[in-house]
Amino acid sequence: MRTANTHKNMARCAATATLACVLGLGLAAPAYADTASDLAAARTKLEQIGTQTQQIYDELATQTQALDQTAGEITQKQQEIADGQAKLSTYVAGEYKTGGLSLLQVLTGVDDLSDMLNRLFYYGKVSDKQAQTIQEVKELKQQLTDKQAEQEKNVATTQKKVDELNAQQAEAQNVVNSLDSQLQAELAAEAEANAALQAGINASTAEKATVSNETAGTTEKTNNDGQTSNNNNQGGNTPAPTPAPAPTPQPSTPAPAPTPSAPSQSVDGGSVVSRAYSKLGCAYSWGGIGPNSFDCSGFVSYCLTGRYCRLGNTGTFMGWTRVSDPQPGDVVVNSYHTGIYIGGGQMIHASDYNTGVIISSVAAGMNNNYIFVRY
């Protein structure tokens, strides 16, 4: 359905342009306006998903770190418990010469009341200590186990969010790629239609000029024949006819507009950077190739060539030769944005509708997944 509408829009645009030429009006809005708007929205959505994904990754890293810390605490407490039990067993063995004592064993061989009370006192102390230690161990292990279970639940929930955002990001990237390809195709079709239209206008103008010249020649020949006839009849009674008025000069064929000379296409890094600086503050517009508004690939194309043209899109630029030692004038690019590297970890680029052409840090932009290529 969108393809059919696109063809209709292009046909309607061409017809409107022809009428505009006849009436001396400005051209209608380009046929690719809707696609450019859709592409802008898709790229904005992709950026939003990228930001959310980075935030959720940070959250997952924090939760995983906390879970690892809890596991370490559990291991440490279990070791402390084992050490405490060993010390307690050693104490009891040293005190009573046995590892596990019952009350009957404690009271066996009592010599007098004082000895019995002493044994009961130590037995009670040891029993209380054992009971207290066991209870503390149970409570601590339960707390740590509950904490660990809650953290594992949080990690699983966050991981699910990460998976969902990754899927959304992949889908959004596919939409951006599709719309970007469609926009480039429509731009190319628009340029072809405009070229055909201009050729038709030129042919029509030339034909009119030819007809005008032929008419002027016929009129001049008729006037000459009339003058000859008058000279031959000077001796007769026929009155001389009134001379025909001189023909109105016909307009000459308009000279075609001179083709502007193409600026230098130097790819010297200094020239590229100078052009980039000269456009700081210009507005951002989808499909813009200058002179006062650009989209990201239109801006890079101007900086590289010095002409208001489009070398391609981000997919085109990513196919160029990659460099590991970027120099000022190289191209900074990922799958959906691009700019001109100016050194010092910075680039100049046509950012968005709010900021236009600005200087930004390469490391801080677009999820930090840029590559450097050379034109």
Directed axis angle between helix 113-232 and helix 33-96, to 10°?
A: 170
SS3 340: strand
More confident residue, 263 or 103: 103
3-state DSSP assignment of residue 212: helix
Instruction: Write down the pTM of the prediction.
Output: 0.35
Are 206 and 253 in contact, with CB atoms under 8 Å apart? yes
| Selected residue with higher pLDDT from 26 and 205 | 205
- Smallest CA-to-CA distance from 342 within 272, 279, 286 is with 272
Q: 169 vs 83, 165, 176, 181, 366, CA distance in Å? A: 52, 6, 10, 18, 13
φ, ψ for residue 258, nearest 5 deg = -65, 140
Rounded Cα gap, residues 18 and 74, in angstroms = 81
pLDDT tens-place string over residues 296-333: 999 999 999 999 999 999 999 999 999 999 999 999 99
Structure confidence at residue 259 (pLDDT)? 39
Cα distance between the two ends of the chain:
38
Predicted confidence at residue 98, as pLDDT, reads 46
**DSSP label at residue 36:** H
Q: Report how far residue 56's alpha carbon sits from residue 149's, in angstroms, rounded to the nearest whole number.
A: 20
Which of 307, 368, 311, 309 lies closest to 337 in space, CA to CA?
Answer: 368
For residue 339 the two structure tokens come to 């700019």
Task: Find the mean pLDDT for residues 77-93.
Answer: 67
| Cα 328 from Cα 345, distance rounded (Å) | 10
Between 299 and 209, name the one with better pLDDT. Answer: 299
Give the mean pLDDT of 178-206.
78
For residue 349, how many other CB atoms are within 10 A of its CB? 28
Report the topology of domain 31-197. Helix Hairpins (1.10.287)
CB 351 within 8 A of CB 360: yes
DSSP-derived pairing of the beta strands 371-374 and 283-284 = unpaired
pLDDT tens digits for range 219-268: 555 555 554 444 444 444 545 555 555 554 444 444 444 333 333 344 78
**Beta strands 293-294 and 283-284, pairing class:** parallel
Cis check for the bond before 291: say yes or no (omega within 30 of 0): yes
Sequence spans of domains, the chain:
31-197, 270-374
> Which fold does the domain 270-374 belong to in CATH?
endopeptidase fold (from Nostoc punctiforme) (3.90.1720)
**Which region among 31-35, 73-77, 241-245, 350-354 has the lowest average model confidence (pLDDT)?**
241-245
| Residues 325 and 281 sit within 8 Å (Cβ to Cβ) | no
* Average pLDDT value for residue range 333-343: 93
Say how far apart CA 64 and CA 73 lie, in whole Å: 14
Examine the pLDDT at 56 and tell me if it is beyond 70: yes
Contact predicate 341/362, CB 8 Å: yes
Write down the pLDDT at residue 323. 95
pLDDT band at 97 (very low <50, low <70, confident <90, very high): very low
> What are the tokens at 180?
């970007």
Mean pLDDT, all residues of the chain: 74
